[in-house]
Amino acid sequence: MRLLASIAVTLLRAKLRQSIVAAGGVTFSIAMFVALLGFMNGLNHLLDGLILNRTPHIRLFNELHISPKQPVDIAEAHHGDTAAYNFIRSVKPKDDLPRLRNATAIMGALEKDPRVLSVTPRLVAQVLFNVGTTDLTGQVFGVDVMKEVQYYMFQDYLVEGDPYDIATGNNTIVLGKGLADLMAARIGDLVQVTTATGDRTMLRVAGFFQSGIAEYDKVQSYANIKTVQKLLQRPPSYYTDINVKLHDLNAAPAMARELAARFRVQATDIQTANAQFETGSDVRSIISYAVGVVLLIVAGFGIYNILNMIIYEKLDTIAILKATGFNGSDVRRIFLLLSMIIGVVGAAGGLVLGITLQHIIDNVPFNTAALPTVTTFPVDYNVKYYLIAVSFALATTWVAGFFPARKAAHVDPVEIIRGK
- pLDDT above 80 (res 78): no
pLDDT at 193: 93
Report the candidate in 246, 211, 239, 245 with the shortest Cα–Cα distance to residue 224: 239
Tell me 65's DSSP state. P
- pLDDT above 60 (res 159): yes
- pLDDT above 80 (res 340): yes
Instruction: Quote the Cα angle for 346-363-211, to 5°.
Output: 125
- pLDDT above 70 (res 66): no
What share of the chain has pLDDT > 90, as a percent? 27
Residues forming beta bridges with residue 359, ordered by sequence position: none
Instruction: Give the residue, 97 or 181, on which the prediction is more confident.
Output: 181
323 CB-near residues (< 8 Å, 6+ apart): 413, 417
pLDDT at 288: 74
> Per-residue pLDDT tens for 296-327?
777 777 777 776 776 666 667 777 777 777 77
Q: What is the mean pLDDT of residues 196-220?
A: 88
What are the structural domain ranges in the chain? 2-52+277-419, 58-66+93-273
Instruction: Give the residue, 260 or 44, on which the prediction is more confident.
Output: 260
Q: What is the mean pLDDT of residues 116-136?
A: 89
What share of the chain has pLDDT > 70, as a percent? 81
Q: What is the mean pLDDT of residues 141-169?
A: 88
Among 69-83, 102-116, 139-153, 335-349, name the one with the lowest average pLDDT: 69-83
126 CB-near residues (< 8 Å, 6+ apart): 96, 97, 137, 139, 195, 196
pLDDT at 10: 76
Give 22's Cβ-side CA count (13 Å radius).
30
pLDDT confidence of 64, banded at 50, 70, 90? low
Yes or no: say if 321 and 331 are a contact pair by the CB < 8 Å rule: yes
Instruction: Quote the Cα angle for 99-101-105, to 5°.
Output: 130
Residues forming beta bridges with residue 220, ordered by sequence position: 139
- pLDDT above 80 (res 138): yes
Instruction: Render 317-376 in DSSP notation, one character per residue.
Output: HHHHHHHTT--HHHHHHHHHHHHHHHHHHHHHHHHHHHHHHHHHHHTSB---TT-TT--B
Q: What is the mean pLDDT of the chain?
A: 81
Residue 365 burial by Cβ neighbours in a 10 Å radius (0-12, 13-18, 19+): exposed
For CA atoms 256, 261, 267, 273, the dihedral sign is positive
pLDDT at 207: 92
Q: What is the mean pLDDT of residues 120-145?
A: 90
pLDDT at 357: 92
Rounded-to-integer distance, Cα 189 and Cα 125, Å: 21
pLDDT at 343: 83
Yes or no: say if 407 and 310 are a contact pair by the CB < 8 Å rule: no
Integer-rounded Cα Rg, in Å, for the chain is 34
pLDDT at 206: 93
pLDDT confidence of 107, banded at 50, 70, 90? very high
Q: What is the mean pLDDT of residues 161-190?
A: 89
Among 8-22, 71-85, 146-160, 170-184, name the one with the lowest average pLDDT: 71-85
Yes or no: say if 100 and 62 are a contact pair by the CB < 8 Å rule: yes
- pLDDT above 60 (res 94): no
pLDDT at 86: 56
Instruction: Give the residue, 280 or 266, on which the prediction is more confident.
Output: 266
Report the candidate in 150, 147, 262, 142 with the shortest Cα–Cα distance to residue 193: 142
Yes or no: say if 284 and 40 are a contact pair by the CB < 8 Å rule: yes
Instruction: Give the residue, 252 or 287, on which the prediction is more confident.
Output: 252
Rounded-to-integer distance, Cα 233 and Cα 200, Å: 11
DSSP H helices, 175-269, are 177-183, 214-217, 225-232, 252-263
pLDDT confidence of 360, banded at 50, 70, 90? very high
2 CB-near residues (< 8 Å, 6+ apart): none
Instruction: Give the residue, 103 or 289, on which the prediction is more confident.
Output: 103
- pLDDT above 90 (res 153): no
3-state secondary structure of 101: coil
Rounded-to-integer distance, Cα 125 and Cα 227, Å: 11
For CA atoms 309, 314, 315, 321, the dihedral sign is negative
- pLDDT above 60 (res 391): yes
Tell me 236's DSSP state. T
Phi-psi bin for 171: left (phi > 0), alpha (psi -120 to 50), beta? left
Give pTM, 2 decimals. 0.64
> Per-residue pLDDT tens for 32-60?
888 888 888 887 777 776 667 778 999 99
3-state secondary structure of 405: helix
- pLDDT above 80 (res 15): no
Instruction: Give the residue, 80 or 151, on which the prediction is more confident.
Output: 151
Rounded-to-integer distance, Cα 96 and Cα 232, Å: 9
